[in-house]
Amino acid sequence: MKTPYLIFGTLVCITLFIANRSGWSLGHALSTGNWNPKGRSVFHK
Amino acid sequence: MAGETAPKAKVFNCPLCGSTVQIRVPGDTISVVCTSCKSVIDARDENHRILSEAASRLNVPQVIPLGQRGRIRGQLWEVIGFMTRMDVESYFVWSEYLLYNPMRGYRWLTEADGHWNYVLPLKDPPKNPKGESVLHMGRTYRLYHNGRATVQYVVGEFYWLVFVGETVATRDLICPPEMLSIEKSKTEITYSIGEYLSPDEVREGFKITTPMPVAIGVAPNQPDLLAGRVKELLKIWGLFLIAIMMIQFLSIVITGEKEVYSGGYSYDRTDPVKTKTSPSFELTGGETGVKIGLHAPVLNHWFESQMDLVNETTGDVDELELGVEYYEGRDDEGLWSEGSRYTSAILPAVPDGKYHLNLEGSSSMPDILYSITVKRGAIPMSNFLMALFLISIFPLLLIWRQKRFEMARWSQSDFSPYHVHKDEE
């Protein structure tokens, strides 16, 4: 139980770091339904 | 017994029914119960005097038969007696096997609801055995049960004069995996310590091939095998908490949230030009978040603005809608207010470039002045909160399971810390 939790928690920390560095926002993804910041609701006018 | 001299058994015929009766420990046995007619025979009397006759000759099934030898905690034991006892108030019945080893004396193996205990007589009783908490050998035992136990059925031989209906007052106190039992009869008080045994230890120790009683619920002194893991996991959780706080803090420091634009605008319902355009501003520093804030001094009104963040190089547009509302008043309880005059949102991973904002307001007020701020390098809190939630799931589940285990342990006790006593309600 200790080892899986260590692996899981480490993955969470790495994911948080990458998400923050790339500007990805969970709140934005939840509110817009768009989970890919690169493909967000962008269109040309 | 291997390496231990087996006692020479004494065999005679039951004076009542004629069946063969065996005394395995001739020197110590005081009474022996005929396995056939259940009469209690005086083991010390040369003529094998009948002490009492049984009201019933029914056999109660035993998991371990009399005469069976087996190992518990590495020591060899032989089952010489068996009895079932019942709690007089709750009618709860359990089984007790008297074990004998010529070098070590007597022990008990008890079985209740499929849970087993290896019971040792206590030579040095606790100094203060009264009260709901008893200290013994540095361990604190908590009162679990007060009652009276009566012998229901008995076969085999015993080191005291046993008979059906023999009743003693009992007190059971627990400190898992141990149980301190105090039994008080008219003539003596006996103390014993029971240690929880898994059914597998009993089955393997006595080579039992018949089905074992199914363990029901949680035994009073059953150890919680995951209890130690909770503390271990909480320590790791603390380290992960520090780690994600450091990551969040460093992300904010490294990214460095800075204001790239701030401007004021007016909204007028009669204005024919609905869309306002901000001056151009540069977003630099890499693809990070952009925080757009809206402030409007509304009072008992609302204001909202549709915003387009336009990349002037590529023509890409990010759409966003922000709204504020603020209400206040007075009622019986005094002043109240709700809502806010400021709100913000973060657009994630916006590439570097030259941008401007297109703003289109709407309001419950005919006209209002409002302001917009744009900040580069915004780090959202939602990622941190999700990380906190994820690292907390396992410890929380384990704590919840531990509490459920303890509640199940105490569910049959009148002294449960999880019960509200009637006089406290």
pLDDT for res B243? 97
From residue B258, give the alpha-carbon distance in Å to each of B216, B285, B288, B291, B364: 63, 10, 12, 10, 32
Q: Is the pLDDT of residue B390 over 60?
A: yes
Cβ-defined contact of B380 to A9 (cutoff 8 Å) = no
Q: What is the ipTM of this complex?
A: 0.85
Q: Please, which pLDDT band fits residue B277 given cuts at 50, 70 and 90? A: very high
Q: Is the pLDDT of residue B353 over 80?
A: yes
Coil, helix or strand for B355?
A: strand
Which of these ranges, A16-20, B191-195, B382-386, B419-423, has the smallest mean pLDDT?
A: B419-423
Look up the CATH architecture of domain B258-378. Sandwich (2.60)
| Residue B400 identity (one-letter amino acid) | W
pLDDT for res A37? 57
Q: Is the pLDDT of residue A44 over 80?
A: no
Q: Is the pLDDT of residue B58 over 80?
A: no
Average pLDDT, chain B: 90
B212-262 residue pLDDT tens: 999 999 999 999 988 888 888 999 999 999 999 999 999 988 887 899 999
Q: What is the mean pLDDT of residues B35-40?
A: 83
Alpha helices (H) along B271-422: 381-410
Give the span between the Cα atoms of A6 and A12, in whole angstroms: 10
Measured in angstroms, the CA of B379 and the nearest CA of chain A are apart by 6
What is the helix, strand, coil percentage profile of chain A, to 5?
A: 70, 5, 25
Q: What is the mean pLDDT of residues B291-304?
A: 95
Domain residue extents for chain B: 10-223, 228-249+383-424, 258-378
CB atoms under 10 Å from CB of B128, counted, come to 10
Q: Is the pLDDT of residue B143 over 70?
A: yes
Phi then psi for residue B103, to 5 deg, are: -85, -25
Give the span between the Cα atoms of B187 and B192, in whole angstroms: 17
Q: Which residues of B touch A (CB under 8 A)?
A: 226, 229, 232-233, 236-237, 240, 243-244, 247-248, 251, 255, 287-289, 308, 310, 314-319, 345-350, 379-387, 390-391, 394
Give the span between the Cα atoms of A3 and A43, in whole angstroms: 45
pLDDT for res B11? 86
List A residues 1-45 in contact with B (Cβ-Cβ < 8 A). 1-2, 5-6, 8-9, 12-13, 15-17, 19-30, 37-38, 40-45
Cβ-defined contact of A21 to B384 (cutoff 8 Å) = no
Measured in angstroms, the CA of A3 and the nearest CA of chain B are apart by 10
